[in-house]
Amino acid sequence: MARSSYAKNDYQSTSFSKEKAGITLSLRPRIDAKGEEVSMQVNAEVTAKVPDADLEIRNAAGMILASSPTISRREVRTYVRVANNTPFIIGGLIAKDKQSTMDKVPLLGDLPILGPLFQSKKNSAVKREVIIVLTPFVLPEAHVMGKNMPKDEDAFDSVDNQLFRDAYRIRAEDMFDLNYLFENKQLQRMKALANRIVTGNVFLAGQYPYNKFYDKAVPGETILCYRQIYEVLKRKGMQEKLESSKLIFFEPDKNIKSGHRVRFLGDYIGTKAPEVLTEQGGDKAIAITYTLQRDSDNAKSIFREPVPEINMIDCPSEADWRKKLWELNQPAVDGQEKYTVLLRRKQDVDRLKYAVLMKKTVELNTEGLVLSLSNFTRGRLLLIPRVKPQDIELIDGDVARSFFYSEMYYQASQVEMEKDIEAFRKAIEKKDHLKQLLKISPNR
């Protein structure tokens, strides 16, 4: 847009500035207590270029030095109150412009003196109106899907940004059909009981086993979310960007009898069991086992957890691999958690890469959000780790756990639910929660 000013000696000064043109819509919505009506303050503004009204800057010889369009501005301010999911129209944004068009015969129309004989000029009036249709939707807390939700398309992902992290928009195909779980009558009764117990003692909300049933929590949901993250990463082919030669693990330093040293997984496999890198695999498998020491009071165990126990075990078939994987990921006799990465063929190495990325994904999104079924929902953005060629990734207990959950998610979540239900029943009996609830009920 151009602005002109004149000095005393009739000297003209012109400055230019940028101005956005288009439709600007400002809303201030309010929802009533029942969620049935929406009140909105609406400011609608339309700015557009006026046809054939450009400001031209010419020199003394009449040559055009610069030009700027003339901008028209139309604005409507209103206050509306409509029912939920009901459209309403904003009109009155009308503009009337005059247009002039010239037609001429090629070449002949440009001749001096005779040119006007081969030209025609037409003046017309143009009337334009912008109509805005708004439909407010009140989104229920338990369900975020609606007409306002865009389609499941890659266009709504956020990838390859220079300054911001990549983000993937969760689709319908990324989520498991868990109606068999949410509609289970036994689970519904236990959740209702947990909510009543916690209402009487809010300090129990974060304690086990109440926290596995209270509010929107579901026993075993963490394992199911790990698997859903695995499916997302697999669909995006993320493991292709991570080379097995860049994976490392720790092994005890036998020279000084203390601490540990770094070992590259690719070199170790190539030396100990090269058949693991083939499509068919061999009769042996590499078992990398981590015993989690995070709840231990022993100071020495702090430095012991990152160092795995590595063994070569007999594993001639895929059935043997699945059986061994389940057995090696069961808790120790004293109850300590153990997780094992079992590598028999190239497919297992790819799964290990996904496990590394699963751990990084959980770290990016925080466990409370990404490992909860109530938060892992369609339409949400999931931050995705970006793998660089120079990155070195460590295999640890969290990676081994992700590896196990990505394959044995169904069996592991079933065991987890059975354990939590049994623990909840014992807590109810031990603390006489039912008796306490019966004493409270008549007074309400």
CA distance 359 to 361: 5
Query: If pLDDT is split at 50, 70 and 90, which confidence band does 395 have?
Result: very high
Look at residue 14 and tell me whether its pLDDT is greater than 90.
Answer: no
Return the closest-CA partner of residue 119 out of 107, 105, 135: 105
Return the closest-CA partner of residue 412 out of 200, 220, 215: 220
Q: Which two tokens stand for residue 196?
A: 């009543």
pLDDT of residue 146: 66
Long-range contacts formed by 388-392: CB under 8 A, 24+ apart: 389/243, 391/242, 391/246, 392/246, 392/248
How distant, in Å, are the alpha carbons of 46, 73, 88, 98 from that of 93? 7, 9, 15, 17
Look at residue 93 and tell me whether its pLDDT is greater than 70.
Answer: yes
**Cross-strand bridge partners of residue 158:** 167
pLDDT of residue 13: 64
Look at residue 263 and tell me whether its pLDDT is greater than 80.
Answer: yes
Q: Which two tokens stand for residue 342?
A: 């079992």
Average pLDDT value over all residues in the chain: 85
Q: Are 395 and 343 in contact (CB under 8 A)?
A: no
Query: If pLDDT is split at 50, 70 and 90, which confidence band does 166 have?
Result: very high
CA distance 85 to 110: 59
Residue 185, classified by CB atoms within 10 Å of its CB into exposed (0-12), middle (13-18) or buried (19+), is exposed
> DSSP labels for 179-235?
HHHHT-HHHHHHHHHHHHHHHH-GGGGGSTTGGGTSTT--TTHHHHHHHHHHHHHHH
**Cβ-proximal residues to 138 (8 Å cutoff; 6+ apart), any chain:** 31, 35, 36, 38, 84, 85
**CA-angle at 343, arms to 322 and 221, nearest 5°:** 55
H/E stretch holding 256: none
pLDDT of residue 387: 86
H/E stretch holding 343: strand 338-343
Mean pLDDT of 303-322: 92
Characterise 39 by phi-psi region: left (phi > 0), alpha (psi -120 to 50), beta (else): beta
Model pTM score: 0.72
Mean pLDDT of 257-283: 90
Query: If pLDDT is split at 50, 70 and 90, which confidence band does 98 have?
Result: low
Mean pLDDT of 85-104: 74
pLDDT of residue 355: 97
3-state secondary structure of 244: helix
Pinpoint the alpha helices (H) of 304-444.
Answer: 318-328, 346-365, 367-370, 397-407, 409-430, 433-440
Look at residue 6 and tell me whether its pLDDT is greater than 60.
Answer: no
Mean pLDDT of 242-266: 84
Look at residue 106 and tell me whether its pLDDT is greater than 80.
Answer: no
Look at residue 46 and tell me whether its pLDDT is greater than 70.
Answer: yes
How distant, in Å, are the alpha carbons of 195, 245, 287 from that of 266? 50, 5, 14
b/e sequence 63-95, b meaning 16+ C-beta within 10 Å: eeeeebbeebebeeeeeeeeebeeebebeebeb
Q: Which two tokens stand for residue 98?
A: 């005059």
Q: Reply yes or no: is the peptide bond before residue 150 cis, omega within 30 of 0.
A: no
pLDDT of residue 73: 81
Tell me which range, 105-114, 153-162, 325-334, is most confidently predicted by mean pLDDT: 325-334
Q: Which two tokens stand for residue 226?
A: 């790990």
pLDDT of residue 366: 86
Query: If pLDDT is split at 50, 70 and 90, which confidence band does 256 have?
Result: low
Q: What Rg do the C-alpha atoms of the chain give, in angstroms? A: 34
Mean pLDDT of 382-409: 93
Mean pLDDT of 218-228: 95
DSSP 134: E
Return the closest-CA partner of residue 310 out of 265, 360, 356: 265
Look at residue 373 and tell me whether its pLDDT is greater than 80.
Answer: yes
pLDDT of residue 143: 57
pLDDT of residue 383: 93
Query: If pLDDT is split at 50, 70 and 90, which confidence band does 444 have?
Result: very low
Q: Are 24 and 48 in contact (CB under 8 A)?
A: no
